[in-house]
């Protein structure tokens, strides 16, 4: 499945995926690079996108990677992840970087070391 595939899809399908909800809960802010980890296995009868996320996130997987792999817009994926978080099926490792100031000096140093070791 490619990102291009769902662009041609009916929006009705996206609407159905989220059970008609249009926004994710504001208290569950999934960043693009929040790492999602499955806390349970996919179960029979589960919505197929939920099951796919649980299989994908056996190891930490960024929100943006989940979106790319499911070929769904970020906003839709945030809603699906909120469902799974609310029911305890996933945990979320949010980025430590602060949103409104320069990043932590220790983090920058770690980034620099990591890049130099590439």
Partner 1 sequence: MDSATSERTPLSSTADNGLKIVIVGGFGVGKTTLVRSVSEIRPLNTEETMTRAGESVDDVAQIHTKTSTTVAFDFGRITLDAHNVLYLFGAPGQERFWFLWDRLFSGTLGAVVLVDTRRLADSWYAIDRLEHHGMPFIVACNDFGGPAHTEQEIREALDLADHVPLVECDARDRSSSKYVLITLVTHLQRLQAQARSLRETRA
- Interacting residues toward partner 1 by CB under 8 A: 1-4, 7, 11, 14-15, 18, 22-24, 31-35, 56, 58-62, 64-65, 67-69, 73-76, 78-79, 93, 95-100, 102-103, 105, 107-116, 118
- Residue 34: CB minimum distance to partner 1, A: 6
* Token digits of residue 8: 């041609």
Which residue, 43 or 109, is less far from partner 1 as judged by CB?
Answer: 109
113: left (phi over 0), alpha (psi -120 to 50) or beta: alpha
Q: How far apart are CA 98 and CA 96, in angstroms?
A: 6
Which residue, 44 or 102, is less far from partner 1 as judged by CB?
Answer: 102
Which residue, 82 or 89, is less far from partner 1 as judged by CB?
Answer: 82
Which residue, 43 or 111, is less far from partner 1 as judged by CB?
Answer: 111
* Token digits of residue 105: 């000096």
* Token digits of residue 56: 């994908």
């Amino acid at each position: 499945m490619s990102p291009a595939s769902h662009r041609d899809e009916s929006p009705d399908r996206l609407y159905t995926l989220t059970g008609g909800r249009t926004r994710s809960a504001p208290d569950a802010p999934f960043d693009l690079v929040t790492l999602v980890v499955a806390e349970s296995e996919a179960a029979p009868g589960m919505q197929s996108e939920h099951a796919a996320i649980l299989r994908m996130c056996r190891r930490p997987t960024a929100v943006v990677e989940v979106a790319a792999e499911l070929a769904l817009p970020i906003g839709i994926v945030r809603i699906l992840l909120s469902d799974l978080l609310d029911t305890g099926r996933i945990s979320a490792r949010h980025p430590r970087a602060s949103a409104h100031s320069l990043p932590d000096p220790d983090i920058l140093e770690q980034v620099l070391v990591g890049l130099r070791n590439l």
